[in-house]
C-alpha cells in the first residue's frame, strides 16, 4: 500500500507483542475494504505506557488495542470509558476521538459472539467458571453476567485476587452470584460440577508458560471448554477436553470476533469477517 500524510494509523500496544495476530487480521480487513489506513504493533513496556498513550494524542493515531499487561493500567491515562469498561475496570480498545482517548472492552463481547456463532451458546441461567483474574477475565466475567449468567466463579493462583474481583463485581452486578477460589483440586472439582462453560482467561498454556492441571473429568458432556490462548492453536487444555469428548473452542475464534468489534469502533464500518478470519488462519499454515 502507499503511505501518505493522509494515511490513518491504528495499532496495538503490548509487552510482549510478538505473539499478537491482530496486525495481520486488521490489515487484511483494511485491504479488503480499500481503506487508507495501516495497523502497526508497538512493543510498549509498562513504565512507558503513559508516554505511549500521550503519543497517540500527539500524533493523531486513530486507535489502539491493548494486550498484556496494559488493560487495567491504561485506565489511569485516558479521558473517558464506555459503560462496560466502568464495570469491568479494564480496557483493550482505545479510540482517539479528536484528541480525547475513549476506552472500550471487546474481550467479553468477542467471546460471546464467538460462542453464539459456533454453539448458539447463551449465558442466561448458566454457571460459568473462569480461570484467571486479569483484564481478559474481568471482561469475560462482566459480559457473562450482563447476559444473565446465574453464577460466575473466578479461579486464580492468587486467591486474594480472585476473591477481590468476585467481591468487586458482586457490588457492581447484582443479577449474578460471583465467587473467588484458588486453583486447588478440591475447590476446582466442586466448581466444575454442573458448569456450563469453562474459560481459561489466563496466560497458562501459552508458548513459554506452564500448562494448567485441571480436573476436567468433573465436567459434563454439555460443558463447553474455551481457551483464549491462541499460540499454540491447540493447547493442552483443549486437547485434554477433546479427549474427554467435551465441546471446545480455541482462542482464534474469540480473537477474530473481538477484532471485528474493534475494527468497527476504529473505522465506523462493518468488518469484512471472512477476510479477517482467513488472515488469522493463514498464520498457522
Evaluate the omega torsion of the peptide bond into residue 183 and state whether it is cis, within 30 degrees of 0. Answer: no
Catalytic one among 71, 109, 127, 187?
Answer: 71
Distance between CA atoms of residues 62 and 37, nearest Å: 9
3-state secondary structure 229-244: CCCCCCCHHHHHHHHC
* Best CA proximity match to 248, nearest among 258, 238, 257: 238
Residues 6+ apart with CB under 8 A from 132: 154, 155, 156, 200, 201, 202, 203, 204
Query: In whole angstroms, what is the distance from residue 249 CA to residue 207 CA?
Result: 18
> What strand order describes the sheet that includes 177-181?
177-181, 151-155, 127-131, 197-200, 224-227, 247-249
Place of cell 496495538: 12
* DSSP result, 4-38: -TT-EEEEEEESS-TT--HHHHHHHHHHHHT-SEE
Distance CA 134, CA 131 (A): 9
Residues 6+ apart with CB under 8 A from 174: none
The reply to whether 6 belongs to the active site is no
Could you give the residue numbers annotated as active site?
A: 71
Amino acid at each position: 500500500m502507499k503511505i501518505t500524510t493522509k494515511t490513518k494509523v491504528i495499532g496495538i500496544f503490548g509487552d510482549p507483542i510478538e505473539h499478537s495476530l491482530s496486525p495481520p487480521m486488521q490489515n487484511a480487513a483494511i485491504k479488503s475494504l480499500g481503506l487508507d489506513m495501516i495497523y502497526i504493533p508497538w512493543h510498549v513496556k509498562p513504565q512507558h505506557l503513559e508516554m505511549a498513550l500521550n503519543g497517540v494524542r500527539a500524533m493523531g493515531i486513530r486507535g489502539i488495542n491493548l494486550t498484556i499487561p496494559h488493560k487495567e493500567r491504561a485506565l489511569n491515562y485516558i479521558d473517558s470509558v464506555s459503560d462496560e469498561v466502568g464495570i469491568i475496570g479494564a480496557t483493550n480498545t482505545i479510540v482517539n476521538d479528536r484528541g480525547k482517548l475513549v476506552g472500550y472492552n471487546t474481550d467479553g463481547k468477542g467471546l460471546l459472539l464467538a460462542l453464539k456463532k459456533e454453539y448458539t451458546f447463551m449465558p442466561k441461567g448458566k454457571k460459568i467458571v473462569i480461570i484467571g483474574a486479569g483484564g481478559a477475565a474481568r471482561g469475560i466475567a462482566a459480559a457473562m453476567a450482563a447476559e444473565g449468567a446465574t453464577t460466575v466463579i473466578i479461579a486464580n493462583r492468587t486467591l486474594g485476587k480472585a476473591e477481590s474481583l468476585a467481591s468487586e463485581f458482586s457490588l457492581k452486578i447484582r443479577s449474578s452470584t460471583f465467587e473467588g477460589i484458588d486453583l486447588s483440586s478440591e475447590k476446582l472439582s466442586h466448581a466444575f460440577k454442573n458448569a456450563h462453560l469453562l474459560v481459561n482467561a489466563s496466560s497458562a498454556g501459552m508458548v513459554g508458560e506452564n500448562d494448567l492441571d485441571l480436573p476436567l473429568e468433573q465436567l459434563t458432556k454439555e460443558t463447553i471448554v474455551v481457551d483464549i490462548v491462541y499460540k499454540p492453536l491447540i493447547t493442552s487444555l483443549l486437547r485434554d477436553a477433546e479427549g474427554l469428548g467435551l465441546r471446545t473452542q480455541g482462542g482464534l475464534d474469540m480473537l477474530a470476533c473481538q477484532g471485528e468489534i474493534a475494527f468497527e469502533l476504529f473505522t465506523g464500518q462493518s468488518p469484512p469477517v471472512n477476510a479477517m478470519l482467513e488472515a488469522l488462519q493463514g498464520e498457522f499454515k
